[in-house]
Amino acid sequence: MTFLGLACASAIAGSQLGLDASLPPDAVETAIDHLWNLEYDQARPQLEAWLAQHPNDLRAMNYLASTMLQREMFQRELLEGRMYVVGGEAFRKGRPPVPAGFQGELFGVLNRAESLAQERLRQNSRDEDALYWLGAAHAIRAIFHLTFARAPAAALREAKEARNYHARVLSLNPGFVDAMLFGGMYEYVVGSLPWYMKFLASIAGYRGDRERGLAAMQRVAREGHRARMEARQFLVIVYFREKRYPEALALLQEMERAYPRNFVIPQEIARVYKGLGDWRAAAETYQQLLARHHQGAPGYRNLPVSKILYQAGEAYARMGDTAQALRLYKQVEERQEDNIFVYRAALAAGNMYQQQNRPEDARRRYERVASAIPSTEEGRAARQYLKQLR
């Protein structure tokens, strides 16, 4: 289940539906570009305006649901690959807060899409687009159940439904390459389980083949139409998990060129550099992110500056450049935000000052963290360090 969350998000691909010539043919495409550049507040009204004139467009309806879900995930930093590793935030106990009524609004769009798709299938059981988008609706539900409801069993059931509908598409049209993506991800996830969990999964009717799943994703990345970038997104996670860092880096660089306003992608590039042990390249990537923000580069206004400063400080610390790391940590502290990265920077700086035999500088930072966030891991660590200073 480690990668199911992003697998479901990545399953939302394009369709073969024709578009009404009475409106600009790229209206939905423009919204999709906004979506993948993290510009959700631009994507959503464009999709809603399109659907007001094309209420039966399953493609636009599914992208609207995806935009709604991914916006909430972005707000909670659940789009980053690091959240989906073992022990990552997406798999911790407790549900992340969501706005009141969000689930009802999201599922309302999905229910409408499912109803329209089922009606089309009653008229024509071989309707490839209806089957495809019905699978996509189940995929979106799966990611909601996993990341927000924290209900992995429900997520797996929805994922299996999505896979089954896309398998029906492929039975009708083996050349519908985009429909291979979700099935490939499902195969990889289930096929990558430990042997004892795989055995239990097989009893419950879940089977997977890791190599077959990986091959399917790679084919979509090569030959897919609209799902090509989504396939590459998921392959990055797979390659990182398998320590195939050069392949992950190459895909991320392609994605960055395609979506230059998406500042999450360079953060993932820095994460790959850290996996490679190239801390200088990681630090330089973080500095580039900060430079784009200060220069007012398109899309970078909402860059999480405190977080990037802290991560850059971490990279310099790993390089042994304590002075630069402390300068960056100080910049984070001076932002005076109620932000976990402010406290992490204070904690890291405190540790450095303690190593430099500057106990009072260390104490001030430990006390700030311990008093501000006492119930967190950082707060508990700060209290332990304070005891060591007595």
CA trace torsion 26, 29, 33, 35 (10° rounding): 130
Structure confidence at residue 15 as a pLDDT band (50, 70, 90): very low
Which conformational region is residue 38 in: left (phi greater than 0), alpha (psi within -120 to 50 degrees), or beta?
A: left
Domain boundaries, the chain: 1-242
Percent over 70 (pLDDT), the chain? 84
Mean pLDDT of 284-305: 97
pLDDT at 94: 56
Structure confidence at residue 25 as a pLDDT band (50, 70, 90): low
Neighbours of 385 (CB within 10 A): 19
Decide: 132 and 171 in contact? Cβ < 8 Å: no
Distance CA 11, CA 135 (A): 9
Lowest mean pLDDT among 185-199, 307-321, 375-389: 185-199
pLDDT tens-digit profile of 28-75? 999 999 999 999 999 999 999 999 999 999 999 999 999 999 999 998
Sign of CA dihedral 369, 371, 372, 378: positive
The answer, yes or no, to whether residue 197 has pLDDT greater than 90, is no
Shortest CA distance to 326 belongs to which of 341, 346, 340, 308?
346
pLDDT at 213: 84
Decide: 89 and 83 in contact? Cβ < 8 Å: yes
Lowest mean pLDDT among 6-10, 69-73, 327-331: 6-10
pLDDT tens-digit profile of 119-136? 999 999 999 999 999 999
DSSP state of 245: H
Sign of CA dihedral 288, 294, 299, 305: positive
Cα dist. 368→84, 109, 331, 387 in Å? Answer: 30, 45, 16, 14
Long-range contacts of 116-122 (CB under 8 A, 24+ apart): 116/56, 116/58, 116/61, 117/58
Neighbours of 104 (CB within 10 A): 9
Tell me, which fold does domain 1-242 have in CATH?
A: 1.25.40
